[in-house]
Amino acid sequence: MEDPSIVEARRKTDFRNCPILSEYIATMLQDLQYTEMDEACTEEREERDTGTIWDLEESTYQSCKQTCEKFWSENQADIQAALALWPGEEGLRYASTGFDEDRIGSRFYLLQVGHGVSFTDDGDAECLVNLNNATRAFRGFDAMIGDDGEVYTI
């Protein structure tokens, strides 16, 4: 098993290089935690902890990292345009806050897995429409907690 401090240092570098990655993973873990709590109530199962962005199982982490890096690099022009939008302006007229990298990472995850949340929920700027279309090109997935307590994607 790799030293946790080495894993943390490597992931911090990854998060700096791909600023949407940490929130994408955090949103996935939160989503899975809600799913687990719902299933625990209906099946009377014990609630399980999904962990954090720091202790996510390595193959799952790498899969998320590759997905986010691809989205980040292929959509830089639209991402930068989304980051420049101001709440209330024509293209972002329904928003009370603007976009930042965290919000982009979270929206990317939620739209990718089909939660009915999209970049255009707050406005119809061309860059937001483009980010919706780019996200739809990524295959959705399901996250689950394995018998070993680790999070895996299928």
pLDDT in tens, 74-96: 999 999 999 999 999 999 999 99
Within 8 A by CB and 6+ apart from 119, the residues are 82, 104, 107, 111, 128, 129, 131, 132, 135
The predicted pLDDT at position 33 comes to: 80
Euclidean distance between CA atoms 55 and 26, whole angstroms: 11
Listed as ranges, residues in the chain with pLDDT below 70 are 1, 35-50
